[in-house]
Amino acid sequence: MNLKKIFLISSIIGILILISLTNILKEEYQGKIAKITYSSNKITIFLEDNDMELIIFDNISLELSKGDVILFTGKKEIYKNKSQIIIDKIHCLSCNTT
């Protein structure tokens, strides 16, 4: 095998390892919903005892309501001097069914 092929294969393997590590190392967060607002292009979730906003950039209908306990993963960001998390995955741990 020539040296170029070895470097190419090593680079591809390294990239795949980095991609898998970023998926594995994502932090999970938990919180209780204080408020949910829907707009045309995003959903904003506010948690109790936390000033951070959770943002979902999708126009979907969530079956979540105030008081539900959720587990979520996402990327922390600062936007207009406010902390927010762009949600990748969200799961309801304790849903209120009325």
pLDDT (0 to 100) of residue 69: 92
Q: Has residue 3 been placed in a domain? A: no
Domain that holds residue 42: 28-94
What CATH number corresponds to the domain at position 76?
2.40.50.140
pLDDT in tens, the chain (98 residues): 688 999 999 999 999 998 887 766 677 888 899 999 888 888 999 999 888 889 998 777 778 888 899 999 888 888 888 889 888 888 888 877 65
Number of domains in the chain: 1
Q: How far apart are CA 13 and CA 46, in angstroms?
A: 40
Phi-psi region of 97 (alpha: psi -120 to 50; beta: other; left: phi over 0): beta
pLDDT (0 to 100) of residue 39: 86
pLDDT (0 to 100) of residue 16: 92
